[in-house]
Amino acid sequence: MDAASEVEQENGFAGKRGAAKIQERLQKRHQARTDDSDRRKETKENHSVAEEKLEYFSSTFNTERASIEQLLSSCSGAERGVVSQRLEEATAKTAQLKKFLNDSVLFLTQYELRQAQAALQKLQTSLAETREEALPKKKFAFRARSKAADKVASSASDSPDGATAAGTVKVDGAAASEQCGFSNIDSEFLTKTSEEIQNRDVLLTHLTNCKVRLFGSPSTLHLKHIDSCEILCGPVSRSVFVDHCRNSTLAFPCQQLRTHNTTDTQVYLHVTSRAIIEDCHGVSFAPFSWSYPNLEEDFNVSGLDRGRNNWSQVDDFNWLAAGTPSPNWSVITEITFCGNALKASMTI
């Protein structure tokens, strides 16, 4: 091969290599453009999803807020029982709205978060003001617990100072004829009959090491400052309120349960809505198991639905982690439940 041929062949090889490099650069440039286009598309889609989430949050939050404000407005001029029910519903809705806000924090802007928090705070303030205005708290008036004193009630009511007989308590301003209960008692077995508590407000407060049996269907049940007690009650037509209870066993059917500041307590429950706990620890739940004569009749009087029991559906207002169970309450194990159920039925 002469020199001219070799030069021509080398130029050919060089041309092919150059073309290959050009093709490679073109492919890389196309790939870069494709990747950039995909990134822009993904960014746009993510932005669209974020906008949809914000739109859904704003719509839902404002709708629920308006619903609560309507409930509060409807309390004006309503009867006490209606007001109490509406305030309980507004309280539950406000708690759900607070949880919804906390679950939405990740995709809210700082501005939107501050706006929603301010709106929620205003709503909570309105709720407290409405409650204070419609259901003002009044001091409790206690009476001695002896049945002999109950017989003196009629004569005591005729006295100039309007003194009340011992054994009953004044609950949130209810009429004297609608109240009863026990207070400041240590290590006693206490009972109330159906005739004594039927459709009345019952308050048990400052009890220690006591066993309490309430036969019948009260309208509401208040338990405050209970220590190491066993309290069994018939069907409560409306709400049960538990506050500062420790190391105790409770059993009752009710429409609603609110539990605050309670520790190491077992609750055997029949509830037709949802139980709510706040500032509690070591509270455990199982189905209501106590039985006594005329229980079915008392259920009928209370109006509770025997076929609907949400005993294990508990909302913890101090635990807002979505998808993670609250460590503050638990379900009573079968072995413990059976043992305590037997104990409860044997200690009427």
**Residue 346 reports pLDDT greater than 60:** no
Q: How confident is the model at residue 268 (pLDDT cuts 50, 70, 90)?
A: very high
Q: What is the pLDDT of residues 5-21, one digit of tens each?
A: 555 555 555 566 777 77
Mean pLDDT within 122-150: 64
d(C-alpha 331, C-alpha 320), whole Å: 19
Which residues neighbour 143 within 8 Å (Cβ) at sequence distance 6 or greater? 149, 164, 165, 166, 167, 168, 169
Model confidence at 129, in pLDDT bands (50, 70, 90)? confident
Least confident window among 10-19, 83-92, 158-167, 276-285: 158-167
Region of residue 242 (left: phi > 0; alpha: psi -120 to 50; beta: else): beta
Antiparallel, parallel or unpaired: β 275-278 and 314-316: parallel
Of 202-216, 298-312, 329-343, give the range with the top mean pLDDT. 202-216
Architecture of domain 11-134: Up-down Bundle (1.20)
Phi and psi for 250 in degrees, rounded to 5? Answer: -125, 145
pLDDT value at residue 255: 92
**Pick from 140, 145, 342, 183: nearest CA to 251:** 342
CB 194 within 8 Å of CB 234: yes
In which band, very low, low, confident or very high, does the pLDDT at 110 lie, cut at 50, 70 and 90? confident
Q: For the chain, where are the E strands, in sequence order?
A: 179-186, 189-192, 201-208, 211-214, 220-227, 230-233, 239-246, 249-254, 256-260, 263-271, 275-278, 281-287, 314-316, 329-331
What single letter denotes the amino acid at residue 31?
Q
Please choose, from the candidates 214, 218, 208, the residue with its C-alpha nearest in 3D space to the C-alpha of residue 231. 214
The mean pLDDT value for 126-135 works out to: 82
Place of tokens 């109240």: 179
Per-domain residue ranges of the chain: 11-134, 147-346
In the prediction, which pLDDT does 163 show? 36
- Taking each helix axis from N to C terminus, what angle separates 3-73 and 110-134, rounded to the nearest 10 degrees? 10
Can you give the pLDDT at residue 26?
A: 81
Q: Average the pLDDT over 86-105 and give the result.
A: 86
Distance of CA 100 to the CA centre of its chain: 13
d(CA 200, CA 83): 18
Token couple for 272: 């037709």
How far is it, in rounded angstroms, from Cα 35 to Cα 133? 63
Distance CA 116, CA 240 (A): 32
Regarding the domain delimited by 147-346, which CATH topology (the fold level of the hierarchy) does it fall under?
A: Pectate Lyase C-like (2.160.20)
What percent of the chain has pLDDT above 70?
75
Mean pLDDT of the chain: 79
Average the pLDDT over each of 92-106, 168-182, 312-326 and give the range with the smallest value.
168-182
| Residue 281, helix vs strand vs coil | strand
Query: What are the tens digits of pLDDT across the range 18-59?
Result: 777 788 888 888 788 877 777 776 666 555 556 777 888 888
Confidence of residue 147 (pLDDT cuts 50, 70, 90): very low
Q: Is residue 304 scored above 80 in pLDDT?
A: yes
Residue 115: per-residue pLDDT: 87
pLDDT over threshold 50, residue 159: no
pLDDT band at 164 (very low <50, low <70, confident <90, very high): very low
Q: Which of 190, 199, 240, 248 is nearest to 219 (CA)?
A: 199
Instruction: Judge whether residue 78 has pLDDT over 90.
Output: no
Answer yes or no: are the C-beta atoms of 97 and 120 closer than 8 Å.
yes
Query: Which residues lie below 8 Å from residue 290, measured CB to CB, with a gap of 6+?
Result: 232, 251, 268, 341, 344, 345
CA 55 to the chain's CA centroid: 27
Percent of the chain clearing pLDDT 90 (strictly above): 36
Structure tokens at 47: 């932005």
User: What global pTM score does this model have?
Assistant: 0.52
Token pair of 69, please? Answer: 């404000």
